[in-house]
């Protein structure tokens, strides 16, 4: 028993062959149990502290992980916030653009509404005009419409044919087989120069007579002291016949002649409204120009003295009147010197059956 009560001496341990210099605590035996209990409690406390440490470490790790996740989420939130701000900016721009487009659409809608209203008004006017056209068409198709007008026009042309047939009987233009030698100048040469289309038979003016009289330009172009006065008189008489026939045909067709005629038989005249005098620089003013241009100049359709130029120009103007009448009924002139040929073509066309149906 005594040996058991001996103090327990704790021998210092050697570490790596070297004795550690530490304070050694000597525990009495009777204090051993208390010390053992204390050591056990300390051991349990150490274990408990270790567990708490582990628990705290785990909590700390979980807290660190949570903080890391929170930081990551915060970064993500910041990025999402930036994206949201950019999207807000885009949405703001889109909203402004939408307002502008909406304003444009409103203006276009107002403009379209105005156009629709104008179209409705135009449609109403068009319907009224269409109705008037239909009424007019029915009126024209009736007894007093286009058919009646066509019948009246046909009667008018028949009346014109009858009157001009009287002119043709009064001044017959006939073809004579034989001709005098002095009339050969007006044969084929003048016809070729007049512009008759190739392939067509040229009209020999020397073979044509009006009331049995030949019409030539020989007395006008080659007039001399020894010229036949009777031939000159016959040509003047023939020109008087042509002038009277042209005047009658123009009155029956109701065509105002470009060059009016002053009839006088073999002493007939044709008028030209071109200025008759050459104005000098000192006398050039508006009043003199009006008075000069408004006064017609008369050219004789006969030889007056030895002045054959004025007579030749008068024949040219007479042929222009014939050309005007031919163009009025839709026929081309045979040439600038074909007076009798143009008159014969004029009478033939008007007296043809096709003239009534045109």
Q: In what order do the strands lie in the sheet with 213-214?
A: 173-175, 208-210, 213-214
**Over the chain (358 residues), what is each successive 10-residue block's mean pLDDT?**
45 49 66 79 84 86 86 89 91 90 91 92 92 82 70 87 90 74 37 38 59 67 54 84 92 92 89 60 42 71 74 90 92 85 91 84
pLDDT of residue 336: 78
Distance (Å, whole) CA 208 – CA 186: 10
Give exposure, 36-67, as e/b (b: 16+ Cβ within 10 Å): eeeeeeeeeeeeeeeeeeeeeeeeeeeeeeee
pLDDT of residue 226: 43
pLDDT of residue 127: 92
Q: Are 244 and 269 in contact (CB under 8 A)?
A: no
Q: Are 315 and 239 in contact (CB under 8 A)?
A: yes
Name 269's Cβ contacts closer than 8 Å, sequence gap at least 6. Answer: 261, 262, 298, 299, 300, 301, 314
pLDDT of residue 147: 73
Name 279's Cβ contacts closer than 8 Å, sequence gap at least 6. Answer: 288, 289, 292
pLDDT of residue 47: 86
**Length of the chain counted residue by residue:** 358
pLDDT of residue 216: 67
pLDDT of residue 190: 38
């Amino acid at each position: 028993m005594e040996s058991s009560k001996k103090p327990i001496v704790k021998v210092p341990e050697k570490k790596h062959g070297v004795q550690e210099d530490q304070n050694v605590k000597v525990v009495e035996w009777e204090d051993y149990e208390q010390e053992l209990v204390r050591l056990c409690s300390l051991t349990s406390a150490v274990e408990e502290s270790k567990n708490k440490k582990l628990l705290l470490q785990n909590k700390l790790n979980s807290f660190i992980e949570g903080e890391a996740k929170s930081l990551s989420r915060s970064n993500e939130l910041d990025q999402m916030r930036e994206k949201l701000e950019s999207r807000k900016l885009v949405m703001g721009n889109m909203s402004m653009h939408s307002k502008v487009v909406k304003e444009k659409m409103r203006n276009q809608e107002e403009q379209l509404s105005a156009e629709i209203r104008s179209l409705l008004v135009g449609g109403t006017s068009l319907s009224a005009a269409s109705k008037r056209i239909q009424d007019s068409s029915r009126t024209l198709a009736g007894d007093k419409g286009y058919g009646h007008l066509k019948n009246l026009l046909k009667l008018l042309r028949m009346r014109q044919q009858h009157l001009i047939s009287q002119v043709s009987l009064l001044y017959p233009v006939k073809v004579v087989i034989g001709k005098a030698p002095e009339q050969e100048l007006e044969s084929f040469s003048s016809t070729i120069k007049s512009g008759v289309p190739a392939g067509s038979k040229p009209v020999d003016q020397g073979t044509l007579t009006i009331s049995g009289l030949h019409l030539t330009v020989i007395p006008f172009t080659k007039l001399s002291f020894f010229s036949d006065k009777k031939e000159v008189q016959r040509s003047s008489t023939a020109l008087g016949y042509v002038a009277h026939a042209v005047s009658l045909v123009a009155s029956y067709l109701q065509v105002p002649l470009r060059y009016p005629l002053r009839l006088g038989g073999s002493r007939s005249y044709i008028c030209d409204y071109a200025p008759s005098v050459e104005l000098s620089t000192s006398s050039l003013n508006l009043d003199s120009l009006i008075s000069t241009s408004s006064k017609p100049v008369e050219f004789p359709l006969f030889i007056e003295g030895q002045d054959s130029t004025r007579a030749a120009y008068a024949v040219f103007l007479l042929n222009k009147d014939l050309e005007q009448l031919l163009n009025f009924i839709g026929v081309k002139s045979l040439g600038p010197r074909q007076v009798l040929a143009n008159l014969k073509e004029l009478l033939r066309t008007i007296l043809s059956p096709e003239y009534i149906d045109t």
